[in-house]
Amino acid sequence: MPSPKLKNSLNSKPIRIAISGGGIAGATLMNALLQNPNIDPHIYESAPEFSERGAAVGLSINAQSITPEASCLDVSLAQLMVEKQGAGPDAGKVVFDLSSGEAALIVHRARFLEELLKPVPREVMHAGKKLVDVTEAGGSLVLHFEDGTSETAGGLIAADGIHSIVRKHILGNQNPAASPAFAGWWDCRNLVPFDKAKSRLGEQYFQEARQYCWVGDGTFIMHDILDDGKTVQCVGAVRTEDDWKSDEWKRELNRDMLEKAYKGWTDKAFADAMIELLLDQEEPRAFSQWESKHGDSYSKGRICVMGDAAHAMTPWQGSGAGQAIEDAMILASLLANIKTAEEINDAFRAYDGIRRPRSQQVVESSTITGLMMSGKGPDTGLDLSRLKDGMWSRWDFIHNLDMKAHKEEAVRLLKQVQEQDKD
């Protein structure tokens, strides 16, 4: 059923767009499409309710500019420090300090999603709808759900995450890029009360709400403040040569694993305190990090993928959510420049042409940054001066994107595609 806003549209037949996935990516796109009277968007979430897992998410400067919902949430800045294994003159020295207005915004995932969903009419939100197949009939797409129901739509935009079945539909099940690949790290995290973290890790790190990170030899430690200063997210990451299986997303975490990983840290007291905080939960787990490999396309006909379904990446540059938001901005701009469902194919081809090169560049950059932040960069290692030279500018191409020009380029490409179809 069209939303009340769309019922009142002068266009008697708005194009029905289905969004599969009700996380941050899908909700951001839903917000954008609701502004278009020619689009009738519906969002389908596989879980029984719309919710986000995980503690924090980073929003870069450019992503913040198109998500005003983030303005009401907490701000944490970032300071990155190098911690050399064993004794050494550079242990504990600062690599760089993002203390200016150029820092990312660190927000709580669940609260951010809640803000994004507030303006969405309940009648276009469909929970408990796990997509299992997509077919075509009568010139429309037919979405088949696990509960046995189906819906029709003019186009499908899948924000169904790293396990995306729609990505497999686009690339083919046998394509190596259809499934995510193990990125080479596992991490563990815990949310702890602010006062406990402050007393264990040291008061000097809690004078203001910001993010602190430490580089080790094959390891990494981070903590940041959430929930208006009530909670601290503690994270430990480890570079590993182990090959995690494709269906192995977590393992039991024990003290021996963490002590082995952080045994050589110069500030042993700090490392031991972080280990205690990471283990201070009912079921400590180590989670594998995964990423998408280059695929041939983000679209096929009237179907496309966005967010993690298109370009899952490691968290090292805090850009996963930001790239999903950029996807939403471009998709909304392109769909605002079509009039019929038959033009969706052209819009999605233009989307692929604009967003795939940009987002895959971020995927690759994040992996290299992770190696550097784990002390394993091939050109940096744990050398302080090389880390400073190599790390400082790594975020420039992410943060300095001209969003207006990016949209204009997408629309130009759409017109080129449409002209090609006429020939």
Q: Would you please indicate which residues are annotated as catalytic (active-site) residues?
A: 189
For residue 194, the Cα-to-chain-centroid distance in whole angstroms is 26
Whether 211 and 317 have beta carbons less than 8 Å apart is answered as: no
| DSSP letter (8 states) at residue 46 | S
Go through 183-217 and write b for each residue having 16 or more CB atoms within 10 A of its CB, e for each that does not.
bbbbbbbbbbebeebbebbeeebbeebbbbbbbbb
Please provide residue 301's backbone torsions phi and psi, each rounded to the nearest 5 degrees: 60, -125
Long-range contacts of 160-164 (CB under 8 A, 24+ apart): 160/20, 160/21, 160/46, 160/131, 160/305, 160/309, 161/21, 161/23, 161/307, 161/308, 161/309, 161/312, 162/290, 162/292, 162/308, 162/309, 162/312, 164/305, 164/308, 164/309
Hey, CA dihedral for 153, 158, 164, 167, is it positive or negative? positive
Q: Per DSSP, which regions of 164-271 are E strands?
A: 181-193, 210-215, 219-226, 231-239, 250-252
Q: Cα–Cα–Cα angle for 60, 62, 309, nearest 5°? A: 70
Q: Could you give the CA distance from residue 154 to residue 137 in angstroms, rounded to a whole number?
A: 11
Q: What type of residue is 173?
A: N
Closest among 422, 414, 406 to 338, alpha carbons compared: 414
For 279, the token pair is 């283990």
